[in-house]
Amino acid sequence: MENETTATNEEITAAEPEVRIVKIAECGSLSGRSKPVYHIGVTPNGDTVRRIFGNSARGYYCKDWVSWALIDVHLNDAPSFTSGDIQ
């Protein structure tokens, strides 16, 4: 079964031209049981945005872009940060 995280950078950029993807990478999850794939992008007005594009295991993720400024507000105001904070 092919994982949707195998899309090329060109395919992703063509589908969403308003965000220029500057990094695609994966990291370990907090539980250590999966590896989420994340994108870092820049909007035409220079805002930095992030998204979780896929996951190697079952888990919550959303391909919507989230402003780094929004994440930063939550990180500064809360002792912890989860996906529920930006829903």
Mean pLDDT by runs of 10 across the 87 residues of the chain is: 48 64 90 88 93 81 82 72 59
- pLDDT score, position 70: 80
* Residue 21 confidence (pLDDT): 95
Global pTM value: 0.63
Do 71 and 80 touch, CB atoms closer than 8 A?
A: no
Residue 24, pLDDT score: 96
How many structural domains compose the chain? 1
Expressed as residue numbers, the domain containing 56 is 4-86
* Nearest partner of 69 among 48, 52, 42, 43, judged by Cα: 48
